[in-house]
Amino acid sequence: MSHPQTRHEHVVRTGGRVLAVDAVGAGNGRPVFLLHGTPGSRSGPRPRPSVLYRQGVRLISYDRPGYGGSSRSAGRSVADAAGDVAAIADHLGIGEFSVVGRSGGGPHALACAALLPDRVLRAAVLVGMAPSDAAGLDWFGGMTDANVRDFRSAGHDDALLVQELRRRAAKVIDDPGSLLEFLIEQMTEADKKAVAGVPIRRQLLDAYAEALREGPDGWIDDVLALRSDWGFALTEIKMPVRLWHGADDNFTPASHTRWLAGQIQSSEVQVQRHTAHFGAVAVLPEILAWLTRPDHPQIRSDAGR
């Protein structure tokens, strides 16, 4: 007997823009928004539909403005993600939901938690980052040279950032594998093992190709937004939040998650040994279980200390 799995594509119109949306998994399952990384797209790595069906999860992802099939919104802030997620939920007839953000999607998930308190039940952030003005945090400490260069340029030499990301995006359009190879050169051994399999490589290549098919605008706007004022206070977040990080992450170091844990009083943190940035892909099913089961036990550990 076939499972009532779904994969529906939607075009949501809001504020004169369009947002490209995918909904995958159990059609009547508990809704969870997955906010992709930087760069990324709605087709980024996620569990198979059969896994989502068994978990009773309806997983909704969308291209942030400027990526893939979504219109650009120049000058957008991290906080603007909350309005886009609310518009998508309204379009799909969803009242309450949970959110999970991976890497650059983490701050955008926190925006939803802070600004949509009557709709977001739980939130999770995987290998997320702290605000650029995080007091007491060495923001660039332990970060790859390429990430330091990109994020340091934002707000200081935007023209250099735009030039560099346009160059990389052009290479991805010609050869989708070029971005993955660029990242592999910087990866820890834990991440190289995490992306060694054919399925995850295919998902990453598809995600990058879709993200940048119209150019680097989404990527540029993400970096600028992440390094600017996010537009909300972390202290506004009151619902349960789970923070997960790989201890060996050198793209967004685990110190960012530890800092976030100190700011969000309702958070639980796990820093896992022998994993890094792309370990967030493997842990996602476990996180989805926590997000969709109110009685699911929270983890109180920091295995990386």
- Which residues, in sequence order, are bridge partners of residue 35? 101
Q: Say yes or no to pLDDT of 32 above 80.
A: yes
Domain ranges in the chain are 5-292
Between strands 17-26 and 5-14, the pairing is antiparallel
Among residues 130, 85, 132, the alpha carbon closest in space to that of 255 is found at 130
pLDDT tens, residue by residue, 276-285: 999 999 999 9
Report the amino acid identity of residue 125: V
pLDDT for 299: 39
Q: Say yes or no to pLDDT of 131 above 70.
A: yes
CATH of domain 5-292: 3.40.50.1820
Integer Cα distance of 153 and 147 in angstroms: 10
CA diameter of the chain? 58
* Strand runs labelled E in 103-184: 120-126
pLDDT tens, residue by residue, 221-250: 999 999 999 999 999 999 999 999 999 999
pLDDT for 156: 80
Integer Cα distance of 156 and 36 in angstroms: 26
- Which residues, in sequence order, are bridge partners of residue 123? 99, 241
Helix crossing, 177-184 with 158-174: angle to 10°? 120
Average pLDDT along the chain: 92
Among residues 38, 74, 45, the alpha carbon closest in space to that of 147 is found at 38
Residue for token pair 């939920």:
89
pLDDT tens, residue by residue, 68-103: 999 999 999 999 999 999 999 999 999 999 999 999
Among residues 179, 153, 183, 147, the alpha carbon closest in space to that of 256 is found at 147
Residue for token pair 């059609």:
27
Among residues 57, 60, 50, 48, the alpha carbon closest in space to that of 8 is found at 60
pLDDT tens, residue by residue, 170-227: 998 889 899 999 999 999 999 999 999 999 999 999 999 999 999 999 999 999 999 9
pLDDT for 7: 76
- Strand, helix or coil at 39? coil
Integer Cα distance of 102 and 61 in angstroms: 12
Cβ atoms within 10 Å, residue 71 = 17
Among residues 80, 60, 124, 168, the alpha carbon closest in space to that of 261 is found at 124
Among residues 217, 268, 260, 215, the alpha carbon closest in space to that of 240 is found at 268
